[in-house]
Amino acid sequence: MDNLKVRFKKEIAKKLKEELGIKNINQIPQLKKIVINMGVRDAVADKKNMEIAILEFTQVAGQKPKVTQAKQSIAAFKLREGDKIGLVATLRGKRMYDFYEKLTNVVFPRLRDFHGIKKNSFDGKGNFTLGFAEIAVFPEIDPGKIEKAQGLEITIVTSAKDDNQGLALLTVLGMPFVK
């Protein structure tokens, strides 16, 4: 099976160029990066939760995440400025294309009662964000070993100028949108 990047350059780019009516090859929208983001539940109460989340996140993303800290203190949540509360990783190049293929070809078909993704999660500039309530939908995670259900958010950043170009790009790349 050809890599998604190779298929994009050989055939998908030409199809997208005709579909969008673009004259210059360099104006064809393409994937720039994929940002994966996870807020860790009860990270302040128990430091072990952060270590477990880092291991799970590394398995899903294929690279070690950056630990994010709280920017300000919030007394209602017993949160202090500088507390470690989340994880983020930016995928580019081969890892990005591999993750995108895994997402469209493995993860979405595994979801129960999946009828497609809604098209209303674009940001106005062609970038698409989707969230998962549980990380267990990824094949690398063993559902029996998960103590607490963690969710994560995935942002697909494209070079598209608007949502229509972003939608066309992701559709051609195999994103299963609701018809």
The string of pLDDT tens digits covering residues 152-175 is 999 999 999 999 999 999 999 989
The string of pLDDT tens digits covering residues 105-143 is 899 888 888 888 888 889 889 899 999 888 888 888 887
Average pLDDT of the chain? Answer: 87
> What is the distance between the alpha carbons of residues 160 and 91, in angstroms, rounded to a whole number?
18
Residue 150 within any structural domain of the chain: yes
Q: What is residue 84's predicted lDDT score, i.e. its pLDDT?
A: 79
Residue 179 within any structural domain of the chain: no
Q: Quote the domain boundaries for residue 149.
A: 29-172
> What is the distance between the alpha carbons of residues 135 and 6, in angstroms, rounded to a whole number?
29
Mean pLDDT throughout 57-61? 91
Residue 21 within any structural domain of the chain: no
Residue 1 within any structural domain of the chain: no
Q: With pLDDT > 70 as the criterion, what percentage of the chain qualifies?
A: 98
Residue 14 within any structural domain of the chain: no
Q: What is residue 2's predicted lDDT score, i.e. its pLDDT?
A: 60
Angle between helices 13-20 and 163-172 (to 10 degrees): 140
Binned at pLDDT 50, 70 and 90, residue 81 comes out as: confident
Q: With pLDDT > 90 as the criterion, what percentage of the chain qualifies?
A: 36
Residue 8 within any structural domain of the chain: no
Q: What is residue 46's predicted lDDT score, i.e. its pLDDT?
A: 77
Residue 55 within any structural domain of the chain: yes
pLDDT at 1 over 60: no
How many residues appear in the chain? Answer: 179
Residue 96 within any structural domain of the chain: yes
- Residue 16's H or E segment, with its range, is helix 13-20
Question: Which tokens go with 81?
Answer: 């400025």
Count the domains in the chain: 1
Radius of gyration of the CA atoms of the chain, in A = 18
Say what the alpha-carbon torsion angle 71, 51, 35, 11 is, to the nearest 10 degrees.
Answer: 180
pLDDT at 92 over 90: yes
Nearest to 28 by CA among 18, 6, 13, 15: 13
> What is the distance between the alpha carbons of residues 163 and 126, in angstroms, rounded to a whole number?
4
- Which is higher by pLDDT, 52 or 127? 127
CATH of the domain at 168: 3.30.1440.10
